[in-house]
Amino acid sequence: MKIALSGIKPSGLPHIGNYLGMIRPALRLADSYQCLYFIADYHALTTLHNGSELRSHSLSVAATWLALGLDPTRNLLYRQSDVPEVMELAWILSCFTGKGLLDRAHAFKDAQAQQREISAGVYTYPILMAADILAFGADVVPVGRDQKQHLEMCRDIAQRFNHAYGDLLIVPEALIQEEVETIPGLDGRKMSKSYDNTVPMFLPAAQLRKLVMRIQTDSVPVEEPKLPESAAVFQLYRHFAGASDAEALAEKLRAGGTGWAVAKQALFDAMEASLGEARTRYREIMGDADKLAGVLRDGAERARALASARMARVRRAIGMGSSA
Ligand code: TYM
């Protein structure tokens, strides 16, 4: 069976951008791929320097996958930091990664443009991401569009390695849902923890409703016709409610006489219909720390077994240890 692999950074609570852009499509792969979904906690360390928050967000990411139906016995759910082979591979791959490649990374260039302090971790982020993928021989990587460049870099790094040692690493394909554009946040920019504009998936209903009501809209008066497609609230609604309900709401908005508050309420209702039950399960799972720890322990063990088999071949190829 082919392998699908993807990760989420626990730098905050999982949000509906993660859900629509990656988690929902990734869950649909569970019948046709062996799925390896992990918590990219070392990646979160590039921005989050608070141990208890990082640990608690990691558990939230794990509980989110389970609440949405990932079966951890058929698939693998693990923490990146529980698989040290990934870090070892990251060093090896760094010797096959040109500085020019890293200089072109959007994430690094954005940080530079905003004059943020750039750590070596931010700069080498794409190498660790390549190691996450290549250590497991993933065939496909379901991601949102914002990760496309990272996947291209991973392919490039794998090809350089393979050029020296033969086809040892599997060159993965990105799996990007073409119909899911970048999901907008509260302010209309890309929903992102770093913009502080996210809608966390499993907020209590009252808090979720409050947040949905805060989504920015234009100030066209209620009676005037509106442009639904340009509004974040409508784009989000379409993903939760589906095409035909979205078209019905769009017609009302275009006709005038329907205010944005109506669209926000419709979005909240559609989110409750999609995620309400999963929120109950999420709470239960978060309340059972031992069970959650057990799932992650089991995932770590099985993930290490996979990664260490591949790493033994890599070590041999590059000339480490004995050749036998
Ligand atoms: P992260 O944690 O930022 O996001 C997790 C997944 O959610 C998708 N996503 C979005 N999709 C659409 N619209 C949005 N506004 C939006 N925000 C987030 C992301 O595309 C991603 O698929 N570098 C990765 C984590 C990672 C990884 C990996 C992924 C580390 N190693 C190896 C795949 C394979 C990241 O920061 O994702």
Q: Which CATH number goes with the domain that contains 248?
A: 1.10.240.10
Q: State whether 266 and 306 are in the same domain.
A: no
Is 323 a member of any domain?
no
Phi/psi for 308 (5° steps) reads -75, -30
Is 195 a member of any domain?
no
Question: Beta 173-175 vs 140-142: how paired, if at all?
Answer: parallel
Round to whole Å and give the CA distance between 71 and 283.
17
Q: Say if CB 62 and CB 295 are below 8 A apart.
A: yes
Residue 142 CA to ligand 1 centre (angstroms): 9
Round to whole Å and give the CA distance between 150 and 130.
8
Is 192 a member of any domain?
no
Q: Candidates 3, 8, 148, 193: which one to mutate for ligand 1, based on the most atoms within 8 Å of Cβ?
A: 8
Domain that holds residue 38: 3-183+289-318
DSSP 169: S
Q: Say if CB 44 and CB 132 are below 8 A apart.
A: no
Is 188 a member of any domain?
no
> How many CB atoms are located within 10 Å of the residue 218 CB?
11
- How many angstroms separate the first and last alpha carbons of the chain? 29
User: What is the per-residue pLDDT for 119?
Assistant: 95
Segments in the chain forming alpha helices (H): 16-18, 24-27, 41-44, 51-67, 85-94, 99-103, 106-113, 120-134, 148-165, 205-213, 232-241, 243-255, 260-286, 289-318
Return the closest-CA partner of residue 121 out of 135, 138, 102, 100.
102
Nearest residue (by CA) to ligand 1, atom 17, is 17
> How many CB atoms are located within 10 Å of the residue 53 CB?
14
Residue 15 CA to ligand 1 centre (angstroms): 11
Is 166 a member of any domain?
yes
- Ligand 1 pocket residue status of 190, Cβ below 6 Å: yes
Q: State whether 137 and 84 are in the same domain.
A: yes
Q: State whether 88 and 163 are in the same domain.
A: yes
Q: State whether 132 and 212 are in the same domain.
A: no
Domain count, the chain: 2
Task: Report the CATH number at residue 171.
Answer: 3.40.50.620
Q: Say if CB 180 and CB 147 are below 8 A apart.
A: no
Q: State whether 162 and 120 are in the same domain.
A: yes
Per-residue pLDDT of the chain (324 residues; tens, 9 = 90+): 999 999 999 999 999 999 999 999 999 999 999 999 999 999 999 999 999 999 999 999 999 999 999 999 999 999 999 999 999 999 999 999 999 999 999 988 988 888 888 999 999 999 999 999 999 999 999 999 999 999 999 999 999 999 999 999 999 999 998 767 799 999 999 999 989 999 999 999 999 999 999 999 999 999 999 999 989 999 999 999 999 999 999 999 999 999 999 999 999 999 999 999 999 999 999 999 999 999 999 999 999 999 999 999 999 999 998 766
Does an H or E element contain 38, and which?
strand 34-39
| Burial of residue 298, with CB atoms counted within 10 A of its CB: 0-12 exposed, 13-18 middle, 19 or more buried | middle
User: What is the per-residue pLDDT for 181?
Assistant: 78
Q: State whether 227 and 308 are in the same domain.
A: no
Q: State whether 69 and 166 are in the same domain.
A: yes
Is 98 a member of any domain?
yes
DSSP 84: T
